[in-house]
Amino acid sequence: MDLVYKSEKPLFVLSMVIGTIVWLALVVGTFGVALVYVLLFLIIYLFAHSGFIAYLRGNTLELSESQFPDLYKQYLEACERLEIEEIPTAYLMMSDGILNALATRFLRRHYVVLYSSVVEALRSRPDALRFYFGHELAHIKRGHLNLQWLKMPASILPLLGAAYRRAQEYTCDLHGLAASNSREDALAALAVLGTGGEKLADVNVNGFIDQQRYTGGFWMSYHELTNDYPWLCKRLAHIAAVSGARNGRASEYKAPSRSFFAGVFAAFTPRFGVGGGASVLVLVAIIGVLAAIAIPAYQDYTLRAQASGAMPLVEQVESAAAEYVNEHKAYPESPADVGLPEEMETGPVSHVAVIDEGFELTLRSSNALLNEKTIVVGAYQNDDGSIQWHCVGGTLDQKYRSAKCRSQQP
C-alpha cells in the first residue's frame, strides 16, 4: 500500500519551487537585507517555541518503560511498523476533553504530544491507539516539519497552502492505518475525534461517512478549501475505501466534487492558520499562547542569571566559614572573620551580615524582584556529627536561585 497521498508529492515540489523563487527574489531585491529580518524572526520563533518545549518537559509525562509502559510499548510498536529508527520523545498531556495530538520539532529533536482524552478513549483498543500514534509519527517520517521556513511563502498562498496541509493529513492517516493494521480500529481512532470516547461504542461509522454528501455545497466547500484539515467524514471515507481496497472489498476512494464558486472565493483567501477568515485570529492566538509561556520563562531565566552573580561570594563564604569552624571550633562572629567587609560598593551583593541563621547576603539589582532580597548561607549538622553548608535561606524567591541553592536542604 502506498502510504503517501496522491497529491502530496506534487504539492510539495510546487511549494518548494515557489518558496525558493520568493526567497531568492527577496534576498536579491533587498541586497541581502531580508536575511536580517529572517534571522530576527527565527530568533523570536526559537525563543517562543522553546517555551512550549520547556512546558512539555516540565509539566507533562514522558512515556517510557517506567511511565505508562503499556502505552510506551504500543508507541514503540507503531514506530517499528513505520520503520522509524530514531524514536521521537513522546509526552502525554492532560487535555481537558480536547481530542487531538501533535508532532513538533525543536532544533534537531522531534517530539510527539499525545492528548490524554484520546488515549483514554482508545485505551482498550491497542490497534486504534497505534493508528493515533502512527498518524503523528508520519509527520516526522515524511519530513512535514522540515524546511518549513523555505516552504512558508507557498504555505500562505490561497488554495495551495491549505491543499498541501490537507494532503499531509491524508498521508498521515495512511501511515496510521499501516501502524494499526486494523480497518475497524483505524476508523474508530478517527471517529473518536468527532464523538468523544463516551459515545464511541455507539457510533455508526457508515452513517458518519455518509455525511460527506453535504460537503459539496458552497459553504462547506469554501471552508474546506481554506482549512488545513479535510472534513472528518471524508477522512473516514478515505480510510474505509483504502483499507477495503487492500482487502479486495472496495475500489479507490472518490471524494464528492466541490462547489466551483467556493473555489473562486477561496482563491482570494490567503492561508494564515487552520483556515478561513478566522485564520489570522488563530495565528495571533497561537503566537499569544506561545508568548505567554515563553516571555515569563525568559524573564525568569534572565533574573536567575543575575542572581547567580552572587554565587561566587556564596561559595567563598562557605569555604572560609568552614575553615574558620575547623580552626576555631566556633562559628564566625562577623564578615571580617571570613575576609569580607560588611558593605560592598559594587557587585551583585551590597551587604554581608552575620545573623542567627548564618551569613546573610543582601543582593543589589536594578530589578525590584532581586534588589534587597537576601540569601542566607548557614550550616547544619549531619547525623554523624559532620557539618555541611546550605544556601536555601533568605527572602530571594526560589525560582530565581541557582540549582545549588534550591536543591540543598538544611
Handedness of CA 308, 296, 44, 165 (dihedral sign): positive
75 in any annotated domain: yes
Residues 236 and 328 in one domain: no
Distance from C-alpha of 366 to C-alpha of 306, rounded to nearest angstrom = 10
Q: Would you report the helix, strand and coil content of the chain in percent, each value rounded to 5?
A: 55, 10, 30
Residues 245 and 344 in one domain: no
Q: How confident is the model at residue 42 (pLDDT cuts 50, 70, 90)?
A: confident
The last residue of a domain, from among 255, 277, 299:
277
Distance of CA 217 to the CA centre of its chain: 36
The reported pLDDT for the residue numbered 100 is 82
296 in any annotated domain: no
Query: What CATH number is attached to the domain comprising 346?
Result: 3.30.700.10
Kindly report the pTM of this predicted structure.
0.66
Residues sharing a CB contact under 8 Å with residue 372, sequence separation 6 or more, in sequence order: 362, 363
The last residue of a domain, from among 277, 299, 321:
277
| pLDDT per position as a tens digit, 201-255 | 888 999 999 999 999 999 999 999 999 999 999 999 999 998 875 555 545 778 8
Q: Which range has highest mean pLDDT (57-66, 345-354, 361-370)?
A: 57-66
2 in any annotated domain: no
61 in any annotated domain: yes
339 in any annotated domain: yes
Residues 268 and 339 in one domain: no
DSSP line for 290-313: HHHHHHHHHHHHHHHHHHGGGHHH
List 269's β-bridge partners, or say none: none
User: For the chain, how far is it from start to end, CA to CA, in angstroms?
Assistant: 63
Q: Which three cell numbers stand for residue 224?
A: 474546506
Residues 221 and 344 in one domain: no
Q: Which three cell numbers stand for residue 373?
A: 532580597
Residues 247 and 326 in one domain: no
Q: Please name which of 314, 386, 323 lies closest in space to residue 347, comparing C-alpha atoms.
A: 314
Domain count for the chain, please give it: 2
**Is residue 370 a contact partner of residue 363, using CB atoms and an 8 Å limit?**
yes
207 in any annotated domain: yes
Identify the domain containing residue 378 by its residue range: 309-407
50 in any annotated domain: yes
Residues 118 and 227 in one domain: yes
Residues 251 and 125 in one domain: yes
289 in any annotated domain: no
Distance from C-alpha of 172 to C-alpha of 142, rounded to nearest angstrom = 9
